[in-house]
Each structure stands twice: as structure tokens, then as C-alpha cells.
Copies of this chain bind each other. A is one copy, B any other.
């Protein structure tokens, strides 16, 4: 596709859920996106209000939050971003799926392919049907570009899941390096850390300043809902089209990972520290480093750090990058993979817009290079 055509492509966008952190970030990115010609903001709870009632610094902007109206959406939108709490998009998608517009859902409702997993991990009683799920692309741009490009609905990745997936996938993808197992898949530990914006914007005992500040806590150990999302993806890339990861876990074809998330006293940023056991004593850190560079050589937002150079969350703040570094503990032959992102950008809004770019045949970096 040449540049001239890009210039002409015009996209009319809508957002449901701008009162949350992710929705606001989507809005900010779209406002500067060269192909976006209009943005409609929808809210069920605050319809009719000016945007400044939610964000006082926008007193000089011209946005009124609108009622959710499907007919209006079909007529006036090319793409709709849904950034709502758990359970809402399960309901919305029933109507939205038949409209003539593309949908990018930032919630977790639609990410798991198996209804039973949603019930188990998300505690949603009546999840969307298996039929709907089968048409949804999982929005991990680095591995799923083709399916995203041709899908009407994309389920944007979870923040922890995306970082973990980008860190671990090169060890699972079938390729020449992987003829022999590189790691012992029984011993995959993801020790994850997130800033508090991951917990959303609703005032709760978890998000109050007095409980976050000068505190470090651990939560949802081995029960976090991003676990099946990670395992499902690793299962698929290890085994072609199959996503029956539960069976695979049971059969030890793929790992049941141990996942321990922690809350960091800061606003934004995720680091995951993956500890995996190498099977093969002979492989060098340099070889592994090359495998990772190779894997992501066409992925504009994944950067493999030079060896010895560990990323900090602050270094990717306000960018769409996921930076990854590799370290080998020679005493234990264990590989420590460290990945960092801005959880509201690459972990939510930036990745969502990257998905939009793919869906509309734009360069993946459109509107994202200079956040």
C-alpha cells in the first residue's frame, strides 16, 4: 500500500467507556491519529454530559457524551472501541456483532475461546456463545496479524498477558531452533508487577492512595484471569490451530505456568520477570538472543535489548513499546526474561489502535510512533 492511499483513508471512530483509564488513552491517541476524522464518545451512565464533567482540563473541547445508540453507530462509525468493566461487552456484543462496523473490545470478556474458561476465570455467568467467540480474533498483533486483518471483532490482549506472551512465545513457536525443546515446560514462572492503574479508576480499598503508596503487595496468586489467556496463546503457537489448552496442560504438552502478580506503588508500568529452566545445557545466551531478535524483526513495537541492558518500566512509559531483555543464570542454567510495557498504552489503548491499524490496512505504527 502506498502512502498516497493512506493519506486518503478516513476513519470515523467511537469509544464506549471514556471515563475509565483505557478509554481516555484511546481517545488521546485517536485525537492525534492522522486517519481519524471524527470521534464519538458514548456512555450509559453519563450521557448528555460535557466531557469536562469527567475531565475538567477538557473544558475547552467540544465533546458531549452520548447515549449508546446502535443505529447511530452503524451510520456514523467505521470502528468502535469498547473499554468497559467486566461483563458489559458480553451484553453489548449481542447487538453490535450484526452492525456494519469493526469492533475492538478492550475488556477481558471475549479473549478466551472456551466459554467454560470465562465462567471459571472471570466468574461471568452467561458469557458470549461459542459461536460468537469463534469469529473473534485475539488481538496479539505480533502473532496474529492475518486473522486480525480479516476479522470484524478483535479482543484486545490483557496487559499482563501481552507482556508475558511477548516474553515467552519465542520459546514456543515452532521453528528450526525448536526441533529440540529449549526449555523444560514444567518450570515456567511468571512473577509479574504492575502499577495501580491496572486496577481501574473506581475508588476502592485497593486503589486508595493510603493503601498503594509506600506499599508493595501480592494478590490473586495462581488465580489471575490472565493465566488462561497466556496458556491459550502458547498452546496455539505450539500446536498450530488447536486451542484446547486445558487438555494440553493436562497432557503436559504445554506448561501450566505459575503466575504471581504484585501491585507496585506507581501509576503506570508493568514488568514481568519470567523464570524458565533451560533443557539444553549447550545453548548460549547469544543464540537465544538471536532467536528473540529474529522472532520480532518485523514487529515495530517489540524491542530486544542488547545483552546486559535491563529495561526499567519508566523507559517505555507513554510509548507503545514492549522492551525485552534476557539473562542467563549460569549456576542454575535458568533463563530470566524481563519484559516491560506501559500498561495503559501497549497493555491497552496503544495495542488497540495497533489492531485498528491492521484492520484498516494501515501501517501498524500509524498514529503510534510518537505518543
Contact = CB atoms under 8 A, between A and B. Distances in A.
A212 interface: yes
Contacts of A219: 310
A271 B262 contact: yes
Interface string A251-267: 00000111010101111
A312 B221 contact: no
A277 B186 CA distance: 10
Interface residues of A, number: 74
Contacts of A305: 56, 59
A57 B260 contact: no
A196 interface: yes
A217 B312 contact: yes
B312 A269 contact: no
Contact of A191 (B201, B209, B217, B273): B273
A315 B216 CA distance: 10
A204 B219 CA distance: 22
Interface string A194-217: 011100010111011111111111
A21 interface: yes
A102 interface: no
A60 interface: yes
Interface stretch (A3-11, A78-86, A157-165, A329-337): A329-337
A32 interface: yes
A26 B132 CA distance: 49
B329 A214 contact: no
Interface stretch (A91-99, A175-183, A316-324): A316-324
Contacts of A327: 221-222
Given A196-B209, A273-B260, A314 B214 contact: yes
A84 B90 CA distance: 42
A208 B201 contact: yes
A218 B339 CA distance: 11
A203 B204 contact: yes
A56 B311 CA distance: 8
A45 interface: no
A124 interface: no
B258 A217 contact: no
Given A60-B303, A222-B336, 17 more contacts: A21-B210, A31-B370, A57-B316, A57-B323, A59-B305, A193-B216, A196-B209, A196-B210, A208-B209, A210-B267, A214-B269, A221-B336, A222-B330, A256-B331, A260-B275, A260-B336, A265-B265
8 contacts: A59-B305, A193-B193, A196-B209, A213-B267, A217-B313, A217-B314, A219-B310, A275-B275
Interface of A: 21, 31-32, 56-57, 59-60, 186-187, 189, 191, 193, 195-197, 201, 203-205, 207-219, 221-222, 249, 256-258, 260, 262, 264-269, 271, 273, 275, 277, 303, 305-306, 309-318, 323, 327, 329-332, 334, 336, 338, 340, 370
Please name the 3 residue pairs, one residue from A and one from B, whose CB atoms are nearest each other, closest first: A203-B203, A57-B315, A222-B329
